[in-house]
Amino acid sequence: MTVRANGGLRFSYCMLPDYSLADSIEMIKVADELGYYACYSVDETWHKDLWCLFSAAADKTRNIRFGPNVTHVFLREPTLICQQLATLDELSGGRAEAVVSTGNFVMMEQYHLDWAKRKPLSRLREAMHVMRTFLDDGKIDFEGDFFKYTGLFTAARPVQERIPLKMGGMKGPRSFEVAGEIADGLHHALSYSRPAYDYVVEHVKAGAERAGRNWEDLDLGAWIVSVVSDDSAAAKRAARILVAFYIPSMPPEQLARHGIDQAELQPIFDAFAAGDVAKAIEMFSPEHAEKLSVAGTPEECAEQIERDIIPAGINHVVLALADAPLVEFFSGQSIAGVPPIKDQLRLVAERMMPAFV
């Protein structure tokens, strides 16, 4: 049974598919058995392909939903995303959805894409229209500023009457308002404080009201780096290492909403740029890490979510769980006292989720 506490709170797991495919499928099966709403995956070249992974997991699970969180409209063409999404929906018996955004700006720089001069939010808005049309109708004729199609059609048709298309956002406020206007929800990454989520929901609500929609009907997700362990100190150490790798992709406005001046972190960015990962992690303070992650015992994590995230109006907790192998994959550093992902999924289900019923 899908866990839906407090009249609608969802818990999902977002994975980095950097493990063996067999191990990743076992994690998904455990999440399905424990009643998680969805298993999402990042959609970036740095990791293994989520579409192949989720297709392989589809017939080994019963209820859990699948999709990218996020997929991107600079490196992936919107109608091809729809083709993959509809195919996955058929394979899973109607359990696919997508969180869509412009993509990881750091990765786009590696591709030498000058995204800032390409009107990213306008491109995303247009891509959402293209995707909604192509998924619903199976064909499209369209001439926009970024995408053009004549007589395009596909045999890839979803099982669901309407595949949910949500938006991912970090910077705001315009992207949050656009999500309120046109998307089935917004998943906001790497925010943890009450003021940050109040800001997000305020602007989603403004966009929804402008479009004559009820913002409370939208899926409002908090995508959070999480490490759950009975060894609280070990969980916090692991989260500190992982979050250090995420901060270069966080816009200054988002850091400011956590009381962090980006200038404070510049030496860390410089160390990463110079390839000195160990130095970058060492300079990243535990105080900053605790502002940008949810880590500790299950009870500590539940308390932080209850205090800082849910009251703003968030109805979906998306846990980007990390364990020792993932920390070592990113940093080369070994860390003890952190359970494997499968065990963390159980800790969350058994000792965190009941706190929200």
For residue range 184-214, list pLDDT tens digits in order: 999 998 888 888 999 999 999 999 999 999 9
Least reliable range by pLDDT among 48-52, 175-179, 195-199: 195-199
Amino acid, res. 77: E
Which residues are CB-contacts of 336 (< 8 A; sequence separation ≥ 6)? 234, 324
Task: Please state, in angstroms and rounded to a whole number, the distance separating the CA atoms of residues 269 and 254.
Answer: 16
299: domain CATH number? 3.20.20.30
Q: How much is the pLDDT for 5?
A: 41
Would the pLDDT of 259 be above 90?
A: no
| Domain residue limits at 217 | 4-356
Task: For residue 350, count CB atoms less than 10 angstroms from its CB and return exposed for 0-12, middle for 13-18, buried for 19 or more.
Answer: exposed
DSSP state of 85: H
Pair type for strands 165-169 and 185-189 = parallel
The mean predicted confidence, pLDDT, of the chain is 94
> By the 8 A CB rule, do 64 and 12 touch?
no
> By the 8 A CB rule, do 254 and 191 touch?
yes
Q: How much is the pLDDT for 69?
A: 96
Q: How much is the pLDDT for 14?
A: 98
Q: What is the rounded average pLDDT of the residues 234-250?
A: 91
Would the pLDDT of 4 be above 50?
A: no
Would the pLDDT of 1 be above 80?
A: no
Which residues are CB-contacts of 7 (< 8 A; sequence separation ≥ 6)? none
Report the percent of the chain where pLDDT is more than 70: 98
User: pLDDT by residue (tens digit) across 261-304?
Assistant: 888 899 998 998 899 989 999 999 999 888 889 999 999 999 99
Give me 115's structure tokens: 């995204």
User: pLDDT by residue (tens digit) across 18-29?
Assistant: 999 999 999 999
Report the percent of the chain where pLDDT is more than 90: 81
> By the 8 A CB rule, do 214 and 241 touch?
no
Q: Tell me the pLDDT band of 174, cut-offs 50, 70 and 90.
A: very high
> By the 8 A CB rule, do 47 and 15 touch?
no
Q: How much is the pLDDT for 248?
A: 81
Cα distance from N-terminal residue to C-terminal residue, the chain: 14
Q: How much is the pLDDT for 6?
A: 40
Ordered alpha helix ranges (H), the chain: 21-34, 50-58, 78-92, 105-110, 120-137, 174-182, 194-210, 232-246, 252-256, 262-273, 277-283, 286-291, 298-308, 324-331, 341-347
Would the pLDDT of 70 be above 80?
A: yes
Q: Torsion over CA of 314, 320, 321 and 327, rounded to 10 degrees?
A: -140
* Choice between 128 and 256, residue whose per-residue pLDDT is larger: 128
Q: How many domains does the chain have?
A: 1
Q: How much is the pLDDT for 250?
A: 83
Q: How much is the pLDDT for 239?
A: 96
